[in-house]
Amino acid sequence: QQPVQSPQAVILREGEDAVINCSSSKALYSVHWYRQKHGEAPVFLMILLKGGEQKGHDKISASFNEKKQQSSLYLTASQLSYSGTYFCGTVFSGGYQKVTFGTGTKLQVIP
């Protein structure tokens, strides 16, 4: 089952913050986050493992709540370069190989 991402799309002005959520109906082992710019391949941002950890990557961070089977991606003080489609990818067991991606959240940052 594909994880559900919300919102489906969001428009921000430079400097604003955003949160993208990823929910699963099955127990999660880990969550991947990727960003895809228009016409390009997805690029890996970070991976979160069981344990409710939070990770950071410049002004982009993420949390993982295994009890709620959810992960959230936080973008703070957004920049134009943050524009793109964000995908979460979920792993349902200890196998790191089978990653099931959500349908994506399209983020547009405007001046």
Binding site for other proteins (CB under 8 A): 2, 30, 32, 34, 40-47, 49, 87, 89, 96-104
Q: Which is nearer to other proteins, 13 or 40 (CB)?
A: 40
What span, in angstroms and rounded, lies between the C-alpha atoms of 102 and 97? 16
Q: Which is nearer to other proteins, 19 or 46 (CB)?
A: 46
CB of 15 to other proteins, least distance (A): 28
CB of 87 to other proteins, least distance (A): 6
Q: Which is nearer to other proteins, 17 or 93 (CB)?
A: 93
CB of 81 to other proteins, least distance (A): 19
CB of 82 to other proteins, least distance (A): 18
Q: Which is nearer to other proteins, 22 or 75 (CB)?
A: 22
SS3 15: coil
Give Cα 43 to chain centroid, integer Å.
12
Give Cα 79 to chain centroid, integer Å.
17
Q: Residue for token digits 């990727």?
A: 34
Contacts of 101 (CB under 8 A, 6+ apart): 2, 3, 34, 87, 88, 89, 90
